[in-house]
Amino acid sequence: MITLTDDLGHLSYVTAGDGPPVVLVHAGIADHRMWDAVVPALAERHTVIRYDLRGFGQSAPPSGPFRETDDLLRLLDHLGHERVRLVGASWGGRVAVDFSLTHPDRVHSLAVLAAPWPGYDWSAEMIAYDAAETRALAAGDLDAAVATNLDMWVRGPARAWEDVATGLADRLREPIRTSLVNQDTVGEHSQGVVRGDLSGISVPTLVGVGRLDVADFQDIGRRYASEIPGAVLIEFPTAAHLIAMDAPAELTAALLPFLAS
């Protein structure tokens, strides 16, 4: 990977292919590698840019106040891309939405996969998950906290572990550990999300929902699709929260014609 270093810290990124630029923003329990299975097909037609958010993967945690949208802007400026196609998963999906609200002139199209909703009234299931993670971290049991996240986001509420692709959980253990180790620092310095009016997003938008995901995120996905003008909702029947890892072929088939528009 290449590291962009400046007085704000550093971000690690990798590019592949040639053509109109596409930026893939990873989930909060992953890093840039979550997109490995979709990159080859996209890179046949596009310059595909992946980077690690601060405190994830190979990007250093923040040492002072920052905004994820500012980081993305300086990465695009560094690479010389005026307008890009944005694809974001989970927390990365919210970063992509925020960037579209704050820098609409830099976005050609937007794909949002299982992004959170600021201020959402979370279900008892989500509250219990958060409490279990908090207890594990308070007890210094990082392995238990990792297992809690794997159960919630990789297996999901609608399937058994034997129904999950072999090796998928193992691919995410290290990224989850890194995110958990750095989450307090990231949370302390992050300036939070942008609470803009989604009706102001005027670019073509695709919203992806995994039918095996937590019910909250299925509801949120439909809310994004209803509030962003002209957004197209696509449901992935074999995917839980991480659509790009559970259903890479199906996601690629949906993204290629969308990104070509």
Q: What is the pLDDT of residues 46-65, one digit of tens each?
A: 999 999 999 999 999 998 99
Q: What is the pLDDT of residue 196?
A: 80
pLDDT at 194: 76
Token reading at 250: 């199906």
Dist CA 26 CA 249 (whole Å): 17
pLDDT tens figures, 179-194? 999 999 999 999 877 7
Q: What is the pLDDT of residues 196-219, one digit of tens each?
A: 899 999 999 999 999 999 999 999
Mean pLDDT in the chain? 95
Q: Around 19, how many Cα atoms within 13 Å sit in the side-chain half-sphere?
A: 14
Give pLDDT < 50 ranges for the chain. Answer: none
Q: What is the structure's pLDDT at 4?
A: 62
User: pTM for this one?
Assistant: 0.95
With b meaning 16 or more CB within 10 Å and e meaning fewer, what string describes 177-201?
A: ebbbebbeebeebbeebbeeebeeb
pLDDT of residue 10: 84
pLDDT of residue 45: 97
Residue tagged 């097909």 (tokens): 41
Dist. CA 33–CA 1, nearest whole Å = 11
What is the predicted pLDDT for the residue at 136?
A: 98
